[in-house]
């Protein structure tokens, strides 16, 4: 199980990232960004599907943590899952609001993912 109490050198708890993983480029960029942010040590990652499936451990963890949601598009599947289980995200990002157009090709996914990572890193509120 993910440790939701990982502490940064500043003494603050690391955020937990939850991301869309939809079949469009923006869904995949959101998911890849979550992985990248976790690999960089900026925060942890948890499973949106586990929350959506109503698994108590995932819901409890998301409610207890500083949770940052990255949704791919305005459909807002991750946000709707949070609403369903009465979870309030600390921050909420939508990839299409970062100037990335939704499509179903993945030719520029690496570049789009990097843009999402940079955007989220520069907008995380301590």
Q: Is residue 70 a contact partner of residue 116, using CB atoms and an 8 Å limit?
A: yes
* CA max distance for the chain: 41
Tell me how far apart the alpha carbons of residues 25 and 52 are, in angstroms, rounded to a whole number: 21
pLDDT average, residue stretch 51-61: 96
Show the DSSP H helices in the chain as ranges.
25-39, 48-52, 56-64, 77-84, 109-123
* Mean pLDDT of the region 45-59: 97
CB-CB contact of 71 with 24 (8 Å)? no
* Residue 3 DSSP symbol: -
Q: What is the mean pLDDT of residues 33-55?
A: 97
Tokens 């976790």 correspond to what residue?
A: 38
Q: Is the dihedral of CA 4, 8, 12, 18 positive or negative?
A: negative
Dump pLDDT digits (tens) for 1-33: 444 445 444 567 899 999 999 999 999 999 999
Q: How confident is the model over 88-102, as pLDDT tens digits?
A: 999 999 999 999 999
Average pLDDT (72-83) is 98
Residue 7's pLDDT is 47
111 pLDDT more than 80: yes
pTM equals 0.91
């Amino acid at each position: 199980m993910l440790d939701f109490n990982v502490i940064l050198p500043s003494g603050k708890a690391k955020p937990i990232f939850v991301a869309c993983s939809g079949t469009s480029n923006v869904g995949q960029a959101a998911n890849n960004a979550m992985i990248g942010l976790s690999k960089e040590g900026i925060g942890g990652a948890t499973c949106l599907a586990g929350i959506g499936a109503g698994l108590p451990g995932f819901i409890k963890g998301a409610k207890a943590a500083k949770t940052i949601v990255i949704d791919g598009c305005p459909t807002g599947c991750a946000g709707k899952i949070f609403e369903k289980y009465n979870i309030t995200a600390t921050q909420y990002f939508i990839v299409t609001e970062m100037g990335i157009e939704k499509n179903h090709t993945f030719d520029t996914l690496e570049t789009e993912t990097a843009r999402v990572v940079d955007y989220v890193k520069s907008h995380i509120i301590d």
